[in-house]
Amino acid sequence: VFLRREQPRREMTRAPWPTPRSVRQATELHAVLTASGRLLNQPSAAHLLNSLASCISPGDPLHLRYALSLFDRMPCSTFLFDTALRACFRASSGPEHPFLLYRRMRRGGVPPDAFTFHFLFKCCSRGRAHVLLCRMLHAACFRTMLPSAVPLIASPLIHMYAELGLPGDARRAFDEASVKDAVAWTTVISGLAKTGLLDDARRLLAQAPARNVVAWTGLISAYSRAGRAADAVDCFNRMLSDGIAPDEVTVIGVLSACAQLKDLDFGCSLHMLVGERRMLVSDRLVVALIDMYAKCGNIGRAREVFDALGRGRGPQPWNAMIDGYCKVGHVDIARSLFDQMEDHDIITFNSLITGYIHGGRLREALLLFTKMRRHGLRADNFTMVGLLTASASLGALPQGRALHACIEQRLVERDVYLGTALLDMYMKCGRVEEATVAFKQMSVRDVHTWSAMIGGLAFNGMGMAALEHFFWMKCDGFHANSVTYIAVLTACSHSCLLDEGRLYFDEMRLVHNIRPQIEHYGCMIDLLGRSGLLDEAMDIVRTMPMQPNAVIWGSILSACRVHKNVDLARNAANHLLKLEPAEDAVYVQMYNIYIDSRQWEDASKIRRLMEERGVKKTAGYSSIAVAGRVHKFIVGDRSHPRIMEIIVMMEEIRCRLKSVGYSPITSQITVDVDEEEKEQALLAHSEKLAIAFGLISLAPNLPVHIIKNLRVCEDCHSAIKLISRLWNREIIVRDRSRFHHFRGGACSCNDFW
């Protein structure tokens, strides 16, 4: 052993014990002291425990237990208690062990000294001890310590209160200190800045007898974190005027401020400063440079920094470069860097997944999440919320359920944001029951949760249920915001709740003083138009404080077709064509309005106008997911591998519908063909083909879930109601504006869509 190599046995009593450099060497010294009977000797025991405490690594509970068990067998003294407390601090122990040691110390009559409280306060800072216990320790220190102990105690005491989020106590501890050295000044300035009292920290820094780089850096970093980038840059300039040289940490804080200000010139000067002062270029500094250049819009310069300084390092510079490319929309380049990386971490996946989501490439985001799971990495809440949002936008229920399973397995911590995203996903996938379960399981809800629930019920045609939840929300003490009222008014619009819509629109304006936005006006105009009150709807259009957009004129146009107001429809179409001249839906609506009113010449003009402007009607299609695969159908489609089975089912549907008195609404077919051909054309609509495929492919207890890219037509709506009753199946159809839940021959929209 090292003891025998370094020191002959005969000299052991005379020569000092060697100082161990590792826990293993400390255990060898322990064995020698035990064998020689010197373990109970005060100097020998103190030397062993002190050496062992110095060898303990952060987050090392096993060796801490060994040190404390060794301490338990030694004679008590203030020095040994202080050494045991130092071991707790080095091991990043919680406050439990230090408090127990201090209680033993007092009960054993061992007097504490300045080092005792020094390490107690440090342990409380790191372990986030209870505030009351910390204040009790402060009081005990105040009673027992002499003024000469202040320099050793003041800084850890101030730091403890700052870490506990008690800036007032930290400032009082500083003010009460009879001796304030540079460390105490720096600690209180950094502590106030960290807890958000930036102006107080700035004033205190101006009063400090000596300002060092640590105090300036703490304030600069705090300004950057708080979004006060201009103040951070001002602090940096004043620091330079004081003749204080910045270090790496200072430059990182100022680079963050430059990124917020998008001040490329100042960022470049900081980059030059790093080279001129030959600063150590750490991973954090490389990341800060890449982030600054990317956020200032110079992605090429960011890539130069990455290629020169970041490629041979760990994942942090790679992650910064990938994130930079994603933020400027270059997701494919980010993916190529991702594929070049040897080791991916959770931040790498998060950055690229977020880039895909923001770029609207939701399927690729979900595929990347699957790859991340195969790498054994756990998603964080930020990623899960983004992925649930992507699943909701796609109507990707299987993927959404897989994400829900990850949440149930506690792979991520459930919080209010995750719960809200989960219920929103189920609502947008038409699964109201599962969304309701997710809502009820949430222990904490906020106004956004309630708004998502109300809006989801509205989107699914359950207006009265949405208004009931709005009532319960107010009973729970939540105050509705602008988004909540959009959801409430949408519920009224989708369910033709005219009186309720007027009531809540006035309540929003007059009771809660919420200024209506264009979305609120749009809901009211849509509600009035659907209810046939076109003159009143137009009064709002004329008097609203902003210009109507395409959505509002589209609502007017749709209402005009239902209520056969050709003149107003022509006016609305003219406004729409100015806003969206290439939007095919406007031409199609006007064509149908003219056909319904038998204005054949005007209908022909619309067709010619479409041809002249090169506007083509969007092809309608319906899709259905079966066994994880999406099947897409268009009108009259015969390309599906199971088309013969589908045709047989379609014929069965036709016969059974006819047997219960169903009559196709052939007036919807504007082509000049006989009635039988019109009936065949209606039967071949894409939603009916998708439903026929669902009936032959899905188990009888499973709902048939269809996604339609256009508004479901009147004939299909009537037919699907009967199909749901004849086959005793729930059929869910999501068209471009809402969900239709068909059960037992009825639809959730109550034939109002």
Q: Summarize pLDDT for 569-623 with one digit per residue, the tens.
A: 999 999 988 888 888 888 888 888 888 888 888 888 888 888 888 888 888 889 8
In this predicted structure, which of 29-33, 421-425, 639-643 has the lowest mean pLDDT?
A: 29-33
- Distance, in Å, from the CA atom of 95 to the CA atom of 85, rounded to the nearest integer, reads 10
C-beta separation of 568 from 597 below 8 A: no
C-beta separation of 646 from 632 below 8 A: no
Q: What are φ and ψ of residue 621, in 5° steps?
A: -145, 160
Instruction: Please report which confidence band the pLDDT of residue 48 belongs to, taking 50, 70 and 90 as the band edges.
Output: confident
**pLDDT recorded at residue 753:** 64
Residue closest to 337 by CA, chosen among 375, 302, 367, 285: 302
Q: Residues near 685 by Cβ (< 8 Å), separated by ≥ 6?
A: 620, 635, 713, 715, 716
Query: What pTM value is reported for the model?
Result: 0.66
**Per-range mean pLDDT, top range of 347-351, 443-447, 601-605, 625-629:** 443-447
In three-state secondary structure terms, 179 is coil
- Answer yes or no: is pLDDT of 25 > 90: no
DSSP string of 421-436, one letter each residue = HHHHHHHHTT-HHHHH
Helix (DSSP H) and strand (DSSP E) numbers for the chain: 40, 6
DSSP string of 180-237, one letter each residue = --HHHHHHHHHHHHHTT-HHHHHHHHHH-SS--HHHHHHHHHHHHHTT-HHHHHHHHH
**pLDDT recorded at residue 447:** 94
Position 748, amino acid:
S
% of the chain surpassing 90 pLDDT = 26
Helix axis angle, 315-327 relative to 283-295, nearest 10°?
10
**pLDDT recorded at residue 666:** 64
- Distance, in Å, from the CA atom of 526 to the CA atom of 562, rounded to the nearest integer, reads 12
- Answer yes or no: is pLDDT of 670 > 60: no
**Per-range mean pLDDT, top range of 13-17, 26-30, 68-72, 503-507:** 503-507
Instruction: Please report which confidence band the pLDDT of residue 492 belongs to, taking 50, 70 and 90 as the band edges.
Output: very high
β pairing state of 731-734 and 746-747 = unpaired
Q: Please report which helix (H) or strand (E) contains residue 732, including its range.
A: strand 731-734
C-beta separation of 197 from 167 below 8 A: yes
**pLDDT recorded at residue 147:** 66
- Distance, in Å, from the CA atom of 116 to the CA atom of 120, rounded to the nearest integer, reads 6
In three-state secondary structure terms, 746 is strand
- Distance, in Å, from the CA atom of 149 to the CA atom of 161, rounded to the nearest integer, reads 19
Residue closest to 290 by CA, chosen among 329, 342, 252: 252
Q: How distant, in Å, are the alpha carbons of 138, 306, 626, 629 from that of 394? A: 58, 35, 15, 14
In this predicted structure, which of 358-362, 485-489, 729-733 has the lowest mean pLDDT?
A: 358-362
pLDDT in tens, 204-253: 788 888 788 888 888 888 888 888 888 889 889 888 888 888 888 899 99
Helix axis angle, 714-726 relative to 643-659, nearest 10°?
90
In three-state secondary structure terms, 533 is coil
